[in-house]
């Protein structure tokens, strides 16, 4: 570990001061995890002070590092040897801090900081308050470790680290079996993807001879690694992203993950961890570009996912599940952008989405905190009781719906524009599919958010007691995120926004934002969103079309959606339960009756033979030939001793056997 | 340091035997003294093993170091040839550590029917057998140590075991003895085949012989070691032995004894008969993956916590064997790492199962629940060990599995890539199943509410001082191994490269 090897990453420009120390950013929350886990109850604020202090410092460092990058300092790579099986495998432990990592650092530390502040209010009465802060810190450390990793194996370690933290936090209220089951579902479903990811990492390692991300991208760019092998490797990597970023067919875990505390849903299951899959494909983007049909498959899977999830968001009563399906749908938006080659737009949407989705989740948490229910049927009319939550939630909803000039508008339009460009250039059939489903999804998004807002804030209050606005510790982060949701979009303002300068495809000179940007597309998409909002108001507020969705002409479709397309049932009843119970019992039955039957049979067979021999000896042989009886009697007795469990006799057996085998071998 | 050079390895092996003899002369009534002396000898052995660690030259871990080679039974050419290299050093240290921790654990509680003196003496005798197996470089010497292990374990299960202890003890003894006979047969055949009539492992390296001879002898060694590992379908002694054994017996069985089998493959079968190893590798790989999946499936069907952990060993040792069967640098390094990791993690899990039994007087998973609520530190340690066992990166369980799977992606020695890729996928499915049953076990045992009959909580205390002392080294090493795999790989890699060089 000592032989530090400094790579001149991009030798052209000077290196900044803070960017050298970006490895401190994941280390700080990790140290705070250790401190809280071991000494938490004795620390000020039952541990939250340490957690918040660490994340604030990490946030400041991340901002400084990012500012250094933005002011023209070079990306930084540092390596230490992790382990080295000389000839066959060398693994480094390294950091790679560039714009992509920098953006992620800003997102992760910002949201984590706000969530930790918010949780001092939201989790105030929780009996595992200290532990909650410990795991939040560990999660943040793992996520930052994943982001800064310079190689895929290290990234995998962070990847699984965030997975286990997600498991621990989803199951935070583990007294209820449903919650711990949701945690297991999340871990196992994503692990299916993780196995695929691991194999993808192997495949790339054996193609390119390295785990290093920059080198692998470079090798793909140069055509050193290519062909079917590369396509398979990329698709295996994508399998990991499908699990973590909740794409079809592995998205089923994310809605259940809402069993965790709401701040966790905001941090992990909306803003940061679930975008790890997007980050992975983004990191390996050059590999994907050169991997044949891989990007087309990414695009098509994503196009399908965004529609499936948006429809499901429309039929939920639990407000967190609306947001969960919305997250799946928006992740698919990002993935689809990558699929059509819109790298910058995808990362931009990741960036903006983190703010407004975290805002919506924390807002939902504020509502849940007030009415003690997740269900929108227990809410209604809350705009009068909770003005701050109301205003910020509306800002978040408009941002998600893509209304000008909020953040979602810029990023979403960029993706639609890029899809149109890709489609019109005749590059891909997949681009057309993405374009159509992105437009439909934009419409559905505005519709389901209108439904959610109407059901929570308008009409009459349907819950119990009198709801109150949440305390300052919770409202302040809401306003901060609302402010961010308004302004961050301008970073990607067409032509003049700096985002396209920051995030460029590695190795590409001019693949920034679309130069074809025109005025018609954004107007059309905003009109689409307004249309959806108007329709939503008519449907859900004015209740204009008085018909029951369940019994209407599309009742079957409604019921189909209500049952989550039966996909969860298929997995649970078709795979999990049969393996867990039927197949497992069959294997164990085989073990006890067949395999062990042979063993026990051999034992009792030997015993029977010994008894038989002894019987023969005593009653048949003995009465005729006395001389021969001695030997048989001895062997019968010996076999009986075998079964006696008398260890002293085993030596005799052993020596007899040795003598026999030596004799056999000596003769042959 | 010359004293260490000549004696450290021998002391690390025979000091426990001396301790066992000393214990026999102590009055059994003075239990405290017996425990102290027993632990002092185990501690002294650990110090001797650490002296080996210090004296070892890591730049040449492919060479036998601190070796002693004295004539022993000249009539048959058997020598007292001992020493350590990169393959054996990690296991020797693991054995010395775990034995010492077991003696510490016994301070707290000697299981019924008591007899601390006898139990400590057996643990020490067992340690001599295990350590001796790891340092022996002569087949006769190895065989004696390998067999010596059976006797104390037999008595440990037979006297301190659970209700079906006699069945389990006899089954354990006879089944492994059955395997040993084939092993001995193989050793004798090698002796006859070698021109110089030697039992020396180094002299027998790549010993040649006709293809038929090699394969037949390998088959013998294979059966002998496969029973010990144990590999499917020779594993059925294991769940019974584990279920019935007292806690320290289970810990030693899982942490060290099973490794004698896998170590035997790496130390004896592979280097002496490399061509036959190439022939048998696909079979071993297939059986290894069957062990992984089958072991995991059986875990789902268990109702007894200890038996579940026993079956999980079948799966984990399957990963070790998969690594070996790839005949690659990566796979075999991974196998040794996997052995050490399994020793730490599963040893820890058996400690926990034992301590849980002491607290709740049951190991029935369906009767347990809410452990994390009732005794949070204990529950946290249990969750930690179980999560380590499912191979989470950052903890020790990961690297062995990962390297075994990576080895399978590109097997060595011209083995079929198609077959081994299928095996890799099988292993991958195994990791999902492993995560499934372990998380399910955590859910049933650790989470939820405390069952009514335990709610009064009499006698149910959280982790106490002696348990912390016995467990802390394992808990720390599990995370150190996860973050700093060089701890083991740095020692093994040269020796493994040397070994892999033998496969065409």
Cβ neighbours, 10 Å, residue A605: 11
User: What is the Cα Rg of chain B in Å?
Assistant: 22
Provide the CB-side half-sphere exposure for B11 (13 A, CA): 18
* 8-state DSSP, B27: -
Domain that holds residue B14: 2-500
Average pLDDT over residues B95-102: 97
pLDDT (0 to 100) of residue A10: 40
Q: How is residue A582 written in tokens?
A: 């039927």
**Confidence band (pLDDT; 50, 70, 90) for A523?**
confident
Q: What is the number of other CB atoms lying within 10 angstroms of the CB of residue B145? A: 21
Does A652 score more than 70 pLDDT?
no
Contact (CB<8Å) B443/A192? no
Q: CA Rg, chain A, in Å?
A: 31
Average pLDDT score over residue span B310-314: 96
pLDDT value of residue B327: 96
Higher pLDDT, A90 or B9: B9
Task: Identify the pLDDT of residue A40.
Answer: 81
* A658 to B188: CB separation less than 8 angstroms, yes or no: yes
Least confident of A84-88, B58-62, B244-248: A84-88
Does residue A636 carry a pLDDT above 90?
Answer: no
The per-residue pLDDT for B82 is: 95
Cα angle: A309, vertex A374, B371; to 5 degrees? 100
Q: A643 at the B interface (CB within 8 A)?
A: yes
DSSP string, A426-438: T--HHHHHHHHHH
Is A184's Cβ below 8 Å from some Cβ in B? Answer: yes
- Among A75-89, A121-135, B39-53, B90-104, the range scoring the smallest mean pLDDT is A75-89
**Contact between B300 and A584 using a beta-carbon 8 Å cutoff:** yes
Q: How confident is the model at residue A608 (pLDDT cuts 50, 70, 90)?
A: confident
* Contact A521/B at CB under 8 A: no
How distant is the Cα of B201 from the closest Cα of chain A, in angstroms?
20
Among all residues of chain A, which has the CA nearest to that of B383?
A168
β-bridge partners, B45: none
Q: How many domains, chain B? A: 1
Q: CB of A39 within 8 Å of any CB in chain B? A: no
Residue A265 pLDDT grade (very low, low, confident, very high; cuts 50, 70, 90): very high
> What are the DSSP calls for B267-312, one per residue?
IIIHHHSHHHHHHHHHHHHHHHHHHHHHHHHHHHT--BHHHHHHHH
- Whether the bond between B230 and the residue before it is cis, its omega within 30 degrees of 0, is yes
Residue ranges of the alpha helices (H) in A488-625? Answer: 499-502, 520-536, 555-562, 567-571, 577, 584-589, 596-615, 622-624
- Report CB contact under 8 Å: B448, A195: no
ipTM: 0.94
Q: pLDDT band at B105, cuts 50/70/90?
A: very high
Average pLDDT over residues B96-121: 92
Pair of tokens at residue B462: 């959280």
Residues of chain B contacting residue A88, judged by C-beta atoms under 8 Å apart = 328-330
pTM of the model: 0.91
Contact: B489, A83; criterion CB under 8 Å: yes
Sort out which chain A residues have CB atoms less than 8 A from B328's CB and list them: 88
Question: Tens digits of per-residue pLDDT, A7-54?
Answer: 333 444 577 788 888 889 999 999 999 999 999 888 877 889 999 999
Which DSSP helix (H) or strand (E) runs through A354?
helix A343-371
pLDDT level of residue B217 (50, 70, 90 thresholds): very high
Q: Which residue of B has its CA nearest to A168?
A: B383
A206 near B CB under 8 A = yes
* Residue-averaged pLDDT of chain A: 85
pLDDT in tens, B190-203: 998 887 788 999 99
For A433, what's the count of Cα atoms within 13 Å in the CB-facing half-sphere?
19
Per-residue model confidence (pLDDT) at position A625: 61
Instruction: Identify the band that residue B408 occupies on the pLDDT scale cut at 50, 70 and 90.
Output: very high
pLDDT in tens, B181-192: 999 999 999 998
Question: Quick check: B269 and B182 in contact, CB under 8 A?
Answer: no
- Residue A238 has a pLDDT of 96
Q: A623 — contact with chain B (CB < 8 Å)?
A: no
Q: Compare all CA atoms of chain B with the CA of A183 and give the residue at the minimum distance.
A: B439
pLDDT (mean) for B17-26: 94
Q: Is B413 part of the contact surface with chain A (CB cutoff 8 Å)? A: no
Chain B residues closer than 8 Å to A184 by CB = 436, 439-440, 443
Q: pLDDT tens, B330-343?
A: 999 999 999 999 99
Q: What is the pLDDT of residues A172-224, one digit of tens each?
A: 999 999 999 999 999 999 999 999 999 999 999 999 988 999 999 999 988 88
Mean per-residue pLDDT for B54-61? 92
Burial of A507 (0-12, 13-18, 19+ CB in 10 A): middle
* For testing contact with chain A, the best of B439, B444, B476 (most A CBs within 10 A): B439
* Confidence at residue B346, expressed as pLDDT on a 0 to 100 scale: 97
A559-584 residue pLDDT tens: 888 888 999 889 999 999 999 999 99
Q: Is residue B245 scored above 90 in pLDDT?
A: yes
Nearest Cα of chain A lies from the Cα of B319 at a distance, in angstroms, of 15
A547 touches chain B (CB under 8 A): no
- Asked whether the bond before B435 is cis by omega within 30 degrees of 0, the reply is no
Q: Which two tokens stand for residue A57?
A: 């410092």
Instruction: Tell me whether residues A645 and B443 touch, CB distance under 8 A.
Output: no
**How would residue B234 be classed by pLDDT, with cut points 50, 70 and 90?**
very high
Q: Which of residues 278-307 of B touch A (CB under 8 A)?
A: 294, 297-302
Mean pLDDT value of segment B159-167: 91
pLDDT digits (tens, 9 = 90+) for A118-169: 999 899 889 899 999 999 999 999 999 999 999 999 999 999 999 999 999 9
**Cβ separation of A657 and B328 shorter than 8 Å?**
no
Note whether A583 contacts B297, CB cutoff 8 Å: yes
Tokens coding B174: 């006879």
Give residues 318 to 337 of B whose Cβ lies within 8 Å of A.
328-330, 333
Chain B residues with beta carbon closer than 8 angstroms to that of A31: none
Using a CB-CB cut-off of 8 Å, the residues of chain B touching A599 are 171, 175, 236-237
B392 lies within 8 A of chain A by CB: yes
* For chain A, percent of residues with pLDDT exceeding 90: 53
Task: Kindly state the average pLDDT of the residues A642-653.
Answer: 53
Looking up tokens 């022993």 gives: B72
CA distance readout (Å), B135 to B83, B91, B94: 5, 10, 13
Q: How far is B439 from chain A (nearest CA, A)?
A: 6
CB A188 to CB B435 under 8 A?
yes
Chain B CB contacts of A595 below 8 Å: 233, 235-236
Among A67-81, A415-429, B164-178, B428-442, the range with the most confident prediction by mean pLDDT is: B428-442
B169 to A199: CB separation less than 8 angstroms, yes or no: no
Q: What residues are paired with A83 via a beta bridge?
A: A91
DSSP A269: I
Residues of B in contact with A156 (CB under 8 A): 393
Mutate which: B164, B391, B406, B431, vs A, most A CBs within 10 A? B406
B298 vs A584: CB contact, 8 Å cut-off? yes
Q: Do A198 and B405 touch (CB under 8 A)?
A: yes
Confidence of residue A649 (pLDDT cuts 50, 70, 90): low
- Residue B453 pLDDT class (50, 70, 90 cuts): confident
Q: Which of B289, B298, B335 to mutate to test the interface with A (most CBs of A within 10 A)?
A: B298
Which two three-digit tokens encode residue B406? 């990576």
Range with lowest mean pLDDT among A318-322, A377-381, B195-199: B195-199
Q: Do A645 and B406 touch (CB under 8 A)?
A: no
Confidence of residue A628 (pLDDT cuts 50, 70, 90): low
Nearest CA of chain A to the CA of B357: how many Å?
22
Angstrom distances, CA of residue A263 to CA of A258, B38, B128, B337: 10, 53, 55, 39
Residues A468-493, mean pLDDT to the nearest whole number: 90
Report how far residue A197's alpha carbon sits from residue A150's, in angstroms, rounded to the nearest whole number: 16
Quote the CA–CA distance of B284 and A385 in Å, as a whole number.
69
Q: Is the pLDDT of residue A363 over 80?
A: yes
Whole-angstrom distance, CA of residue B349 vs CA of residue B259: 17
- What integer pLDDT is reported at residue B410 of this predicted model? 92
């Amino acid at each position: 570990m000592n032989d530090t090897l400094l790579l001149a990453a991009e030798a052209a420009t000077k290196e900044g001061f803070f960017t050298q120390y970006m490895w401190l950013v994941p280390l700080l929350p990790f140290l705070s995890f250790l401190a809280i886990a071991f000494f938490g109850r004795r620390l000020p604020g039952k541990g939250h002070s340490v957690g918040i202090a660490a994340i604030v410092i990490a946030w400041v460092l991340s901002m400084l590092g990012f500012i250094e990058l933005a002011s023209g300092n070079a990306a930084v790579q540092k390596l230490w040897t992790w382990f080295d099986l000389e000839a066959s495998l060398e693994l480094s432990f390294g950091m790679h801090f560039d714009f992509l990592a920098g953006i992620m650092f800003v997102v992760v530390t910002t949201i984590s900081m706000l969530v930790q502040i918010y949780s001092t209010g939201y989790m105030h009465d929780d009996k595992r308050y200290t532990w909650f802060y410990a795991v939040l810190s560990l999660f943040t450390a793992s996520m930052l470790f994943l982001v800064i990793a310079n190689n895929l194996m290290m990234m995998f370690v962070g990847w699984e680290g965030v997975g286990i933290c997600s498991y621990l936090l989803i199951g935070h209220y583990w007294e209820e079996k449903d919650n711990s089951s949701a945690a297991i579902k999340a871990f196992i479903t994503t692990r299916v993807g993780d196995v695929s990811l691991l194999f993808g990492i192997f495949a790339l390692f054996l193609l390119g001879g390295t785990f290093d991300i920059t080198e692998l991208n470079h090798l793909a760019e140069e055509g050193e690694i290519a062909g079917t092998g590369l396509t398979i490797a990329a698709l295996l990597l994508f399998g990991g992203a499908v699990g973590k970023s909740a794409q079809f067919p592995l998205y089923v875990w994310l809605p259940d993950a809402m069993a965790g505390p709401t701040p966790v849903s905001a941090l992990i299951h909306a803003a940061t961890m679930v975008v790890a899959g997007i980050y992975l494909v983004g990191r390996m983007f050059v590999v994907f570009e050169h991997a044949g049909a891989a990007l087309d498959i990414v695009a098509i899977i994503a196009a399908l996912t965004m529609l499936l999830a948006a429809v499901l968001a429309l039929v939920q009563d639990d407000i967190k599940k609306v947001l969960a399906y919305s997250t799946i749908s928006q992740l698919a938006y990002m993935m689809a952008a990558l699929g059509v080659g819109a790298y910058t737009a995808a990362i931009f949407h990741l960036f903006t989405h983190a703010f407004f989705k975290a805002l919506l989740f924390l807002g939902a948490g504020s509502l849940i905190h007030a009415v003690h229910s997740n269900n929108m049927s227990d809410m209604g009319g809350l705009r009068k009781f909770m003005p701050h939550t109301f205003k910020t939630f509306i800002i978040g909803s408009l941002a998600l719906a893509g209304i000008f000039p909020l953040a979602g508008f810029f990023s979403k339009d960029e993706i639609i524009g890029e899809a149109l460009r890709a489609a019109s250039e005749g590059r891909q059939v997949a681009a057309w599919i993405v374009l159509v489903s992105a437009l439909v999804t934009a419409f559905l998004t505005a519709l389901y958010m209108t439904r959610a807002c109407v059901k929570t804030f308008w009409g009459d209050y349907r819950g119990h007691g009198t709801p109150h606005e949440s305390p300052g510790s919770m409202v302040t982060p809401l306003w901060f995120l609302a402010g961010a949701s308004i302004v961050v979009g301008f970073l990607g303002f067409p032509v003049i926004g700096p985002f396209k300068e920051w995030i460029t495809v590695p190795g590409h000179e001019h693949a920034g934002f679309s130069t074809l940007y025109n005025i018609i597309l954004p107007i059309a998409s905003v009109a689409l969103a307004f249309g959806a909002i108007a329709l939503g108001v008519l449907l859900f507020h004015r209740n204009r079309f008085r018909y029951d969705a369940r019994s209407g002409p599309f009742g079957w479709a409604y019921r189909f959606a209500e049952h989550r397309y039966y996909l969860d049932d298929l997995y649970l009843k078709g795979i999990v339960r049969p393996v867990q119970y039927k197949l497992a019992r069959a294997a164990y039955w085989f073990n006890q009756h067949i395999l062990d039957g042979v063993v026990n049979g051999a034992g009792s067979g030997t015993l029977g033979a010994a008894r038989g021999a002894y019987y023969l000896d005593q009653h048949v042989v003995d009465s005729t030939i006395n001389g021969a009886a001695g030997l048989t009697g001895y062997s019968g007795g010996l076999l009986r001793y075998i079964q006696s469990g008398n260890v002293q006799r085993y030596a005799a057996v052993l020596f007899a056997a040795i003598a026999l085998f030596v004799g056999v071998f000596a003769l042959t | 340091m010359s004293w260490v050079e000549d004696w450290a390895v021998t002391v690390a092996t025979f000091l426990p035997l001396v301790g066992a003899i000393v214990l026999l002369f102590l009055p059994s009534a003075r239990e405290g003294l017996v425990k102290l002396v027993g632990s002092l000898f185990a501690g002294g052995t650990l110090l001797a093993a650490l002296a080996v660690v210090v004296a070892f030259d890591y730049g040449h871990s492919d060479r036998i170091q601190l070796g002693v080679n004295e004539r022993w039974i000249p009539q048959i050419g058997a020598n007292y040839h001992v020493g350590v290299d990169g393959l054996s050093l990690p296991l020797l240290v693991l054995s010395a550590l775990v034995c010492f921790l077991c003696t510490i654990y016994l301070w707290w509680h000697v299981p019924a029917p008591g007899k601390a003196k006898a139990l400590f003496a057996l643990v020490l005798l067992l340690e001599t057998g295990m350590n001796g197996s790891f340092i022996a470089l002569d087949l006769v010497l190895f065989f004696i140590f390998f067999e010596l292990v059976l006797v104390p374990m037999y008595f440990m299960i037979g006297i301190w075991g659970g209700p079906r202890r006699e069945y389990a003890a006899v089954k354990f003894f006879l089944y492994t003895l059955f395997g040993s006979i084939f092993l001995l047969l193989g050793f004798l055949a090698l002796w006859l085949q070698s021109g110089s009539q030697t039992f020396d492992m180094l002299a027998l390296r790549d010993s040649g012989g006709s293809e038929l001879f090699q394969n037949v002898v390998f088959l013998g060694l294979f059966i002998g070691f496969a029973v010990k590992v144990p590999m499917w379908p020779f594993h059925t002694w294991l769940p019974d032995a584990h279920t019935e054994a007292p806690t320290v017996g289970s810990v030693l069985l899982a942490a060290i004894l099973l490794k004698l089998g896998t170590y035997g493959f790496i130390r004896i079968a592979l280097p002496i008969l490399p061509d036959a190893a190439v022939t048998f590798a696909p079979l071993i790989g297939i059986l290894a993956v069957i062990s992984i999946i089958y072991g995991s499936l059986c875990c789902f069907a268990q109702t007894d916590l200890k038996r579940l952990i026993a079956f999980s060993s079948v799966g984990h040792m399957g990963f070790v064997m998969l690594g070996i069967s790839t005949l690659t640098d990566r796979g075999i390094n991974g196998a040794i790492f996997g052995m050490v990791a399994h020793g730490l993690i599963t040893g820890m899990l058996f400690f926990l199962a034992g301590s849980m039994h002491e607290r709740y007087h049951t190991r029935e998973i369906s009767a347990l629940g809410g452990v994390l609520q009732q005794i949070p530190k204990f529950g946290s340690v249990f969750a930690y060990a179980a999560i380590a066992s499912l191979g989470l990166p950052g903890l020790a369980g990961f690297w062995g599995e990962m390297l075994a799977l990576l080895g399978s992606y590109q097997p060595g020695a011209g083995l079929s890539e198609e077959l081994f890729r299928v095996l890799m996928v099988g292993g991958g499915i195994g990791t999902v199943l492993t995560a499934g049953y372990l998380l399910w076990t955590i859910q049933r045992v650790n989470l939820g509410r405390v069952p009514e009959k335990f709610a009064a909580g009499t006698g149910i205390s959280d982790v106490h001082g002696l348990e912390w002392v016995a467990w802390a080294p394992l808990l720390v090493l599990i995370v150190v191994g996860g973050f700093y795999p060089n701890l083991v790989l740095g020692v093994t890699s040269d020796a493994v490269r040397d070994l892999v060089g033998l496969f065409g």
